[in-house]
Amino acid sequence: MAERIALEEPPALTKTIFAALEDKARLPVRSLIVLGFLAGAYIGLGGLFATVALAGADAMPYGTAQVLAGLVFSVGLVLVLIAGAELFTGNTLMLGSVAARRVGLGKAAKALVVVYCANFAGSLALAAVVLAAGVHEAGDGAVGRAALELGSTKTGKGFGTALASGVLANMLVCLAVWLAYAGHTVTQKVIGLLLPITAFVAAGLEHSVANMYLLPYALLVQQVLADASTSISVPGIAGNLAAATIGNVIGGAFIALAYRCAYPEAD
């Protein structure tokens, strides 16, 4: 009979996660750049998969396609956590390690900035490759139209709305990371992260790294198709990313600091 693998209790899990984030903050800059680039591309692949799922949204009741898109988007975080990569949004949990005095604020901030920039580079590179692959032409152009609709919806949100959406998005993403750390097998990790990621995508919340791929890709598709029905622009993308990033930091910090306060023995 196979041995049962018990999950860690919350206090022990909190200590494990803070220790892991301490290690992440101390990675060499070169490693942060390479692994951050990969994470940007991995999350972008999740965004690509979700866009394909949304290409058939018109034929389904509202919500069905969104849940499907959320399920398939989860492949991005699966790749990040199982294959190994550095994701800005998940790494905002590092602020819990700072509060626990496991790592200095300056070192954590440096690691977060480097990873954020690397995530952006990986996302942009993937967007260019996906465009060159002609994915937007699939389904008689349905994938391209889905990308444009998604990009237009996101850039059309006001700053406050996008910021609040970013808070909620990264609370769910960080909880997905938290639950994945609780697992000891690939299956346990995937099951742990699946529902929180599905929830944030289905609700249309703003995840800065996902948007680093989705919005530039939508802009590229808009230019290639010369679509006059959408008005996705660089300033609109910048505004969305700024609001989503601030919200993501707040959401991640809330989860990290809440558990640090609940379990001070994790210091």
Cα-trace Rg, the chain: 18
Contact 227, 198 (CB under 8 A): no
The answer to whether the beta carbons of residues 46 and 75 sit under 8 Å apart is yes
The pLDDT assigned to 1 comes to 38
Cα dist from 153 to 9, 95, 185, whole Å: 40, 31, 38
Which positions ≥6 away from 4 have C-beta within 8 Å? none
Q: What is the pLDDT of residue 4?
A: 55
Q: Which residue has the tokens 């249309």?
A: 204
Q: Shortest CA distance to 129 belongs to which of 233, 45, 50?
A: 45
What CA–CA distance (Å, rounded) separates 247 from 206? 8
| Cα–Cα distance measured from residue 142 to residue 214, given in angstroms and rounded to the nearest whole number | 15
**How much is the pLDDT for 2?**
45
Answer yes or no: are the C-beta atoms of 74 and 46 closer than 8 Å.
Answer: yes
Residue 81 DSSP class: I
pLDDT for 163 equals 98
CA distance 79 to 246: 25
**Per-residue pLDDT in tens (0 to 9) along the chain, 267 residues:** 344 566 678 889 999 999 999 999 999 999 999 999 999 999 999 999 999 999 977 777 888 999 999 999 999 999 999 999 999 999 999 999 898 888 999 999 999 999 999 999 999 999 999 999 999 999 999 999 999 999 999 999 999 999 999 999 999 999 999 999 999 899 999 999 999 999 999 999 999 999 999 999 999 999 998 876 788 999 999 999 999 999 999 999 999 999 999 998 766
Residue 266 in tokens: 């994790």
Domains and CATH numbers, the chain: 10-266 (1.20.1080.10)
Whole-angstrom Cα distance, residue 75 to residue 53? 13
Type of residue found at 172: L
The first and second tokens of residue 68, run together, are 């499907």
Token output for 191? 């099951």
